[in-house]
A = this chain, B = another copy of it.
Amino acid sequence: MPKAVVLLSGGVDSTTTLAIAKAQGFSVAALTVHYGQRHAVEVAAAQRVAHHFGVTEHLVLTVDLRPIGGSALTSDLAVPKGRPVDQLADIPVTYVPARNTILLALALAWAEVIGAQDLFLGVNALDYSGYPDCRPEFIAAFEQLANLATRTGVEGTARFRVHTPLIHLTKAAIIRRGVELGVDFSLTHSCYDPLPNGAPCGACDSCQLRRKGFAEAGIPDPLPYPAPSHAAEKET
């Protein structure tokens, strides 16, 4: 079986992407990056997911992006709560500068070392937060770069491919696909700003997109959410 490196954050999208890579016949090597994210609890979710799918190669790298900052996920900036997620147009403060470029660069390095030519990334350009590095043109540009950046670009021995099987799916369709492929979404974590006990806040963009997706899919979200907060109602 050919190997593929799957970027696994432990959320709905990357977990479903992992299940798709397996279903396509790849031997999955999962890469999780602990980048100083506020919701580092997602790293534990990634470990649960990798275990659930019998992934034997799971690399957790530490790349602390907090000294760079510039995002609510890696600094003290507040995570927006209760924004109407069907009207997200601007790039929110939860955008982490160049994050997907950094993640793909690390995945490319590992792929080159373990002999994988396929990278999987669970980006989604439909039910998403407007991040520039989730767009198809970004992915195409990275794939081109990957084939110039590495040994294979000189030796012509192989070609890297960046797979984004979710890019044109709604969140509801992603969840339905995940369920079909045996994903246990109780193992996953999506919230940007979890409560002290690790439970989701229910009101950040990521929680809202997840909850809307489960609702539209007609599938109960197995995660426990707090009752709607007064603050979230006010902002909406």
Give CA–CA (A97, B150) in the complex, Å. Answer: 7
**1/0 per residue A94-123: CB within 8 Å of B?**
011111111001101110110000000000
Give CA–CA (A69, B109) in the complex, Å. Answer: 9
Contacting pair A97 B68 (CB below 8 A): no
State the Cβ distance, A173 to closest chain B Cβ, in Å.
24
Cβ < 8 Å to B, chain A residues 111-167: 112-113, 130, 132-133, 135, 137-138, 141-142, 144-146, 148-151, 153-155
Task: Please name the residue on chain B nearest to A64 by beta carbon.
Answer: B62
**1/0 per residue A43-87: CB within 8 Å of B?**
000000000000000010111110111100000000000000000
Contacts A61-B68, A67-B59, A99-B109; A132 near B151 (Cβ below 8 A): yes
Give CA–CA (A106, B74) in the complex, Å. Answer: 14
State the Cβ distance, A95 to closest chain B Cβ, in Å.
7
| A interface residues with partner B (beta carbon < 8 Å) | 59, 61-65, 67-70, 91, 95-102, 105-106, 108-110, 112-113, 130, 132-133, 135, 137-138, 141-142, 144-146, 148-151, 153-155
> What 11 new A-B contacts, CB under 8 Å, besides A61-B67, A101-B108?
A62-B64, A68-B113, A95-B151, A98-B150, A99-B109, A101-B105, A102-B105, A132-B149, A133-B148, A135-B148, A141-B148
